[in-house]
Amino acid sequence: MKNKKRRHPLRQSLAVFRYSGRAINLVWSTSHTMTIILATLTLVAGLLPAAIAYIGKLIVDAVVLSSQVNAPISQPLLYVGLEAIAVALLAASQRGLTICQSLLRVLLGQRVNVLILEKALTLDLAHFENSEFYDKITNARREASTRPLSLVNRTFGLVQNALSLITYGILLVNFSVWAVIALILAAMPAFIVETRFAGEAFRLFSWRAPETRQQHYLENLLAREDFVTEVKLYQLGEMLLGRYRNVFNQLYGEDRDLTVRRGIWSYCLSLVSTVAFYIAYAWIVIEAVLGRISLGDMTMYLTVFRQGQSTFSNALTSIGGMYEDNLYLSNLYDFLEEKVTTPWGNATIGIKPQDGIRFENVSFTYPGSFQPALRNISLHLKPGEKLAIVGENGSGKTTLIKLLTRLYTPDSGRILLDGLDLQEWDVDALRRRIGVIFQNFVRYQFTVGENIGVGDVENLKDNRRWQVAAQKGMAQQFIENLPQSFQTQLGRWFKGGQELSGGQWQKIALARAFMRTQADILVLDEPTSAIDAQAEFEIFNHFRAVTQNQMVFLISHRFSTVRMADKILVIENGEVVEQGTHEELLADGGHYARLFLLQAAGYQ
């Protein structure tokens, strides 16, 4: 066990390097041209410094020669010109690299974000309700759009440094192989420390994802318009800000410790290479004084030594950084490779088209929950029939709808549509048949028309359909009174946006469900809870006419609405306790009758 523990970190550190290749691939597939330019410029920028150092030696030697033997001055001047050209080229290649990197950063950021969002589209609802998974997506989104480029930059930077070092090495080997070895050894400790701290920084980053998420959440609570009213009226501001500060202080404390330790260690170890450098410096000076090397050689070696040392430590920092980028990238790929259950069904029509919907002994427990949310639910709804589901808060009504819409899969039992298990249906074909409004429907910051149009994305912009749907949802009248009617921008996020009342939003959501004219299953989860009594009365007065051919699943706490259904299902603690028509259930004098009379009494 002990052994296993000891091996584990090493294996882990090596494993993270596998992402380098993938990051480079990502950049390559983002832009071939840009990657090629980047590589070429890296090559040029890597080779030129040694060439410049060598030209420097030629200049000094030529100057010494000219002054001693009265040789023509044109030779050293020629070298000066050559060096000027080389320096100009180096500057050009470095500038080119910066331009390339800036452009790639934008392209790559977009590419990775699109990858993340595409992946998010394939995930199940359960993924989003799982906090660990949420950490993964937060981590992936927060850093990963900048990390692939950083990794590639560092890789290319490393190649550039390596090229410079090799060429410096070639120049320096003439002086002494030992000097080269000393240079390498002296910079080694810095590398080891760099990698160690990079690993630690990553672990810190992974561990504290929940805190970071909490901080983002608090930020949202404090700064988003949806929350501001309640935060102000309950005077939550100070308390929330206090929590925000606490999380920050805790994170900052960890950051500060790591940064300080990293800084101190790096400084101490860089002293080792500085000492090595100055010993070599002295050695070169002695050799020059003793006349064993020319003045030109001395100038070149000193340049090579000075630049070689900083290039080497740059290279090591790049490796340390690459290690860190790799670790961060492993997060991205963790997320992108998250397993999704690919739906296998492909049926687009049922085997008994007139059978409607059946629940057969359906039970379901939410992942991570101990109590079943639904137990042995059985029901049958024929085409065109309307079913109302009644029950206390938390009794399982919405869960039943989530199973029907295939957001979740039953643990046991079956749900059949037209005689076929929902699992056998092609998800798109199935969802095309369902129009739904959930309690927490989305208030899109789009125009009114688009807010309705999203109910049928193929006809998103169809003005005529908007009008029909709005009429069915009783939204027509207030929409016509808006400044730009269906073209009015909704919400406060964008310029000129108009905010609606809760009931008006609900009418929009209702219209959205009616937009789905192809759908023969309409699911309404408390569709009129915020709508005034008069409008509700009118909606349900023509409800039968507008949903004539549709099966309706209606969840409501208002019995005036519920009573219009053909069948009523009463659920308690996830189980069906009563089932029948309004009249039957009243006659039974059970739970439904009691609740109905209670509500009726309230209106008297």
Binding residues for ligand ATP, rule: CB under 6 A, are: 129, 366, 369, 373, 391, 393-399
Reduced to 3 states (helix: H, G, I; strand: E, B; else coil), residue 485 is: helix
Tell me the closest approach of the beta carbon of residue 392 to ligand ATP, in angstroms. Answer: 7
**Angle made by CA atoms 560, 562, 563, in degrees to the nearest 5:** 70
Helix (H, G, I), strand (E, B) or coil at 580: strand
In the complex, minimum distance from the CB of residue 202 to ligand ATP, in angstroms, rounded to a whole number: 31
Q: Is 437 helix (H, G, I), strand (E, B) or coil?
A: strand
State in angstroms the smallest separation of the CB of 364 from ligand ATP. Answer: 9
> If you search the block for the tokens 């739970």, which residue do you land on?
591
Closest to ligand ATP by CB, 309 vs 395, is 395
Nearest residue (CB) to ligand ATP, 40 versus 439: 439
Which residues touch 248 (CB under 8 Å, ≥6 apart)? 215
What's the min distance (Å) between Cβ of 576 and ligand ATP? Answer: 13
SS3 (DSSP) at 489: strand
Nearer to ligand ATP, 123 or 182 (CB): 123
DSSP 3-state of 504: helix
CB of 374 to ligand ATP, least distance (A): 8
- Dihedral in degrees, nearest 10, Cα atoms 188, 165, 195, 9: -90
Side chain identity at residue 534, one-letter code: Q
Nearest approach in angstroms of CB 334 to ligand ATP is: 23
Q: In what order do the strands lie in the sheet with 357-364?
A: 374-381, 357-364, 412-417, 420-421
Q: Which of 322, 297, 513 is nearest to 405 (CA)?
A: 513
Tokens linked to 415: 């749900």
Choice between 127 and 397, CB closer to ligand ATP: 397
In the complex with ligand ATP, which residue's Cβ is closer, 321 or 396?
396
Q: Which residue bears the tokens 């090493």?
A: 10
Question: Which residue(s) pair with 420 in the sheet?
Answer: 417
- Minimum distance between the CB of residue 555 and ligand ATP, rounded to whole angstroms? 7
Nearer to ligand ATP, 330 or 395 (CB): 395
Could you give the CA distance from residue 34 to residue 36 in angstroms, rounded to a whole number?
Answer: 5
Please tell me the distance from the alpha carbon of residue 178 to that of residue 474, in angstroms, as a whole number.
88
56 versus 391: smaller Cβ distance to ligand ATP: 391
Select 151 or 379, whichever has its Cβ closest to ligand ATP.
379
Measured from the CB atom, is 488 or 556 closer to ligand ATP? 556
The residues, any chain, with a CB within 8 Å of residue 232's CB and separated by 6 or more, are: none
Widest pairwise Cα distance in the chain? 126
Minimal distance, residue 526 CB to ligand ATP, in Å: 7
* Least distance in angstroms from the C-beta of 130 to ligand ATP: 9
Give dist(CA 309, CA 298) in Å, integer: 16
The DSSP 8-state label assigned to residue 31 in this structure reads -
Smallest distance from ligand ATP to CB 365, Å: 9
Closest to 97 in 3D by CA, of 161, 6, 145, 147: 161
**Those residues with Cβ within 8 angstroms of residue 349's Cβ, 6 or more apart along the chain or in another chain:** 418
Q: Which is nearer to ligand ATP, 93 or 556 (CB)?
A: 556
CB of 400 to ligand ATP, least distance (A): 7
d(CA 431, CA 425): 10
Q: Name the residue nearer to ligand ATP (CB basis): 28 or 366.
A: 366
Q: Is 346 left (phi over 0), alpha (psi -120 to 50) or beta?
A: alpha
Q: In what order do the strands lie in the sheet with 434-437?
A: 434-437, 521-525, 551-555, 386-391, 567-572, 575-580
Least Å distance, CB 597 to ligand ATP, is: 20
Q: How many residues does the chain have?
A: 604
Q: How far is the CB of 363 from ligand ATP (least distance, A)?
A: 13
| C-beta closer to ligand ATP: residue 70 or 369 | 369
Cβ distance to ligand ATP smaller for residue 78 or 407? 407
Angle at 476 between CA 473 and CA 480, to 5 degrees: 155
